[in-house]
A and B are shown apart, each in its own frame.
Chain A
Amino acid sequence: MEPIRKEEIDDQACGSLAPKSKPCPRPKPGEAAGGCSFDGAQITLLPIMDAAHLVHGPVACAGNSWESRGSLSSGPSLSQYGFATDLSNNDIIFGGEKKLKDSIDYIAGRFAPPAIFVYATCVTALIGEDMDAVCKEASDRLGIPVVPVNSPGFVGSKNLGNRLAGDALLQYVIGTGEPELEASMGVNLIGEYNIAGEMWDIEKLMNQAGITLLSRITGDARYKEITWAHRAKANMVVCSRALLGLAKQMESKYGIPYFEGSFYGAKETTYSLRQMAYLLNDREMERRVDRLTEREENRLSHDLRPYRKILKGKKAVLYTGGVKSWSVISALKELGIQVVGVGTNKSSDEDVQRIADRVSDDTEYIPEGGASRIIKTVRERKADIMIAGGRNMYVAMKEQIPFVDINQERHKAYAGYEGLLRLAKELVDSIANPIWKLASSPAPWDKEDSYDR
């Protein structure tokens, strides 16, 4: 890994490298915008499964968002409950601090969570609720951490919310506990949310290599394990767009080195495992990782053969955010698929650089959203498949384009070696489905009849 320059560490602006750092792009009025900072903060912290997550605001902020992410839990499910203070007209005028305090008390009393995260919303920020004070008071009185997350929707994009959630973890959680086990070999995973159980596949690989996963930040996490994240020997940033700032700050505050990696595709997976072993500075472990990755890659290569035959030469348009914007390209390349168009809307500068390293020169970059823009690329480049998230899925269906969902609502895990196999199968299934032939051929009465007249 390259040594990290001091100015990079200091640069917290949106995880971009100095000097070409740019702030999170401002949403443009009049477009179909993506999620807000509240959304971003919540999805970053919701995978802390045993904590209670209380939305301080109108009930619909919780009502519109609860139970819609595919972050899986191996045990506790408290984080899946939709808690809201339900501010109404009167509270807007007279303030909702009493309601907040009572809500925290109720949750602490009835659900006994190890911690409560309290989210600001547009409303509470605008009416000037002193959430920090209420949380601190409740925390002292109840003896459990009550963490304010100051990320109201209007401060900006979803990505900014991810970062603000990272700040809350750094300020209130990380460093407040000590691991019970000897953790000299521990690695934290940052920005991995266990969508469809991907974390479990990764964890399995780490276990096989003998690498301790110290804290999950935050996929399938328990509150307690995040309190001791500062004892890790290395950090791996999985989604850099979301939480690179957290890794940088942990480096400057606790001296924990980090690297950015991914588990999409065999090469990226191997690289990530090797990087971990390297940073842990254990020769024996490096040898173990080498043996493991070689074995897994060989096995995968064999298993993938029938899929590669079908996928070779196919073209894809990829529209996703963060780490997936570049790492899925590697995965697709390994399957023989050429990426002819790629979205860069939610990618950091480094992400874009990584995309550039992985695609050919004539690949089209799609900097802004909007279904029509993506569709246009698919059409012009004669792509065989579109790979994107749920909001674009139904447009693809209208346009009769084979589609694979790789965002938060999917039910299949694509990380690691086995994940690539699953992705291959999913791609083949989607392209091969007879519906596309049916959809694109005209009805019999519209066909030109070559026999008569």
Chain B
Amino acid sequence: MSKERMNIPDYNTLFTEERYVQQRENKKQFEAPCSDQEKAEALAYSQSAEYMEKNFERKAVVINPHKACQPLGSVMAALGFEKTLPFVHGSQGCNSYFRSHLSRHFKEPTPAVSSSMTEDAAVFGGMSNMIDGLENAVALYKPEMVAVCTTCMAEVIGDDLSAFIGNARQKGAIAEDFPVTFANTPSFIGSHITGYDSMIKSILSQLFDRSGQTAAPGAGEEGEKLNVLLGFEPYTGNFAEIRKILNAFDTKYTILGDHSGNYDSPANGEYEYYYGGTKLADVPKAANALGSLVLQKYTLKKTQEYIKGTWKQQVSALSTPLGVKATDKLLEAISELTGLPVPASLKEERGRVVDAYADSHPYLHGKRVALAGDPDLLLGLIGFCLEVGMEPVHILCSNGDVEFDGKKWKEEVEALLATSPYGSEATVYVGKDLWHLRSLLLNDPVDLAIGSSHVKFAAKDAGVPLVRVGFPIFDRHHMHRNPIIGYQGALNLLTLIVNIVLDQLDNNESGFGDLVR
């Protein structure tokens, strides 16, 4: 560019300049601050075992939560279907949060609208908002389906979605045959994964019911296909990876709920509102598939029940298949559902990943790890840690509450930990927040933390490097584009983790140090 290159520091460096430092010092005279000694004492206390005990006795308040709410999951679910517009029924701000939240993670726009309820809706109910909203949204954004989910507000006042949508049709706000699916998703129950599940189940069941078909698993042309459900999937790369695996098997399949297109669209000069997604016509047909493969069994609880119960299909349910062993199980499940053998290309890929594990194992062996995330992701991460010889120590699941079958999940986690001596140090915390995690990291130190961007503050306080895995990841780019499932995903995770360990080694070294690791 030009010769007159100017160095413009961002706030991290700019405000370390002397004049700004001086300014802040001057400011202290009127804020009546604590003395440095008092601050140091308070900090030390907050890091102590005594404080940790008090922190864990805390019942009343949540400090630094690690979950989002149901409708956020529903918005993601809706974006998994062809030309479907997510419609959040309730007060408007919720929708705005969901759009920013998802956009900050994927670095992509999130099309979603709100019925923008206000006080009058609080008093008289949200019907007119729903009717006007549907009419406006269809006119403005020209979707082929609208997927309605609710916020707390609509739930507390008890809006009847089915009746409202019926009235909207009667009044001609939307056409009789225009599909509007809906799910009740109050935020004071469950979390983003509950909402994802509710919306997927609603879309499957409502589109199926409308079609007037009857379920006949294994019948007709669709009878050779496999249904695949990935769940609340923050990695677009995982969709590509599962496709690669299924194509290697040479089996036909339908992905039910595929938001990868919406969250990985090309920059080719024109933004469209809708990219890809499961074809609406494919949803009723999916009832005739050979069977269903579920990759987040704790997330997709209701959906599984529906597929088993109404579609009478065989369901193979796994947790996020991270690492070699979990991928082995995935391939076995596909093999069992389809009757096809595991293809040679995948066997070879497995061998390469095992080789990579072997190359890296000296740096991972015995590394103590803290994990935070959603239930299915955690099961995958624990499995991965155990097979590379890392020791999970603190396992924190904020949204594994009672509604989530927390107990059953915990039992499965503990059973998984018991399969390996590397799991013996671990404790599982269900429903705890990131302030609890901070105490844990400070009092029972680990070498690495694995979790979302929100974990970074606790990790920083404790001086532990953070490997960003899960949702949301706001402060790193493109992590979601690379798969973490399958053998390729295992390799990606391994690369990510071992290189953070190696970075640490380099950072701690004085002088030139080692070139060869």
Which of A74, A105, A181, A400 lies in contact with B267, CB distance below 8 A?
A400
**Contact indicator B97/A65 (Cβ below 8 Å):** yes
**Contact indicator B93/A158 (Cβ below 8 Å):** yes
Cβ < 8 Å to A, chain B residues 477-504: none
**Contact indicator B101/A64 (Cβ below 8 Å):** yes
**Contact indicator B62/A88 (Cβ below 8 Å):** no
Which of B6, B33, B132, B186 lies in contact with A29, CB distance below 8 A?
B132
**Contact indicator B112/A32 (Cβ below 8 Å):** yes
A35 to B92 Cα, complex, angstroms = 7
A84 to B95 Cα, complex, angstroms = 20
Asked if A54 meets B61 with Cβ closer than 8 Å, knowing A29-B129, A122-B152, the reply is yes
Residue on A nearest B6 in the bound complex, by CB: A425
Asked if A36 meets B23 with Cβ closer than 8 Å, knowing A84-B65, A371-B271, the reply is no
Cβ < 8 Å to A, chain B residues 185-227: 186-189, 191
**Contact indicator A122/B188 (Cβ below 8 Å):** no
B66 contacts the other chain (Cβ, under 8 Å)?
yes
Which of B2, B58, B114 lies in contact with A33, CB distance below 8 A?
B114
B10 contacts the other chain (Cβ, under 8 Å)?
yes
Which of A31, A39, A50, A432 lies in contact with B114, CB distance below 8 A?
A31
Taking CB atoms, residues of chain B closer than 8 Å to A99 are 60
Question: When each residue 83-111 of chain B gets 1 if its CB lies under 8 Å from chain A and 0 otherwise, what string results?
Answer: 00001001111111111110110011101
Which of B10, B32, B93, B189 lies in contact with A224, CB distance below 8 A?
B32
Taking CB atoms, residues of chain B closer than 8 Å to A152 are 91
Taking CB atoms, residues of chain B closer than 8 Å to A422 are 8
Asked if A127 meets B156 with Cβ closer than 8 Å, knowing A39-B96, A87-B188, the reply is yes
B133 contacts the other chain (Cβ, under 8 Å)?
yes
**Contact indicator A34/B30 (Cβ below 8 Å):** no
Taking CB atoms, residues of chain B closer than 8 Å to A224 are 30-32
9-residue interface stretch from A200-208, A261-269, A314-322, A343-351: A200-208
9-residue interface stretch from B13-21, B332-340, B353-361, B404-412: B13-21
**Contact indicator A30/B135 (Cβ below 8 Å):** yes
B473 CB → nearest A CB, Å: 13
B4 contacts the other chain (Cβ, under 8 Å)?
yes
B509 contacts the other chain (Cβ, under 8 Å)?
no
A17 contacts the other chain (Cβ, under 8 Å)?
no
**Contact indicator B267/A411 (Cβ below 8 Å):** no
28 A-B pairs (CB sep. < 8 Å) = A30-B137, A32-B95, A34-B92, A36-B92, A39-B97, A59-B65, A60-B68, A66-B64, A66-B65, A67-B454, A82-B62, A85-B61, A123-B153, A126-B122, A153-B91, A153-B94, A154-B90, A180-B32, A200-B15, A207-B26, A222-B30, A224-B32, A371-B109, A375-B271, A391-B96, A394-B103, A397-B107, A398-B265
Chain A residues in the interface with B (C-beta under 8 A): 26-39, 50, 54, 57-68, 72, 74-75, 80-89, 91-92, 99, 102-103, 105-107, 110, 121-123, 125-127, 152-158, 179-181, 196-197, 200, 203-204, 207, 222, 224-225, 303, 306, 310, 370-372, 375, 390-391, 394-395, 397-400, 411-413, 421-422, 425-426, 428, 432, 439-440
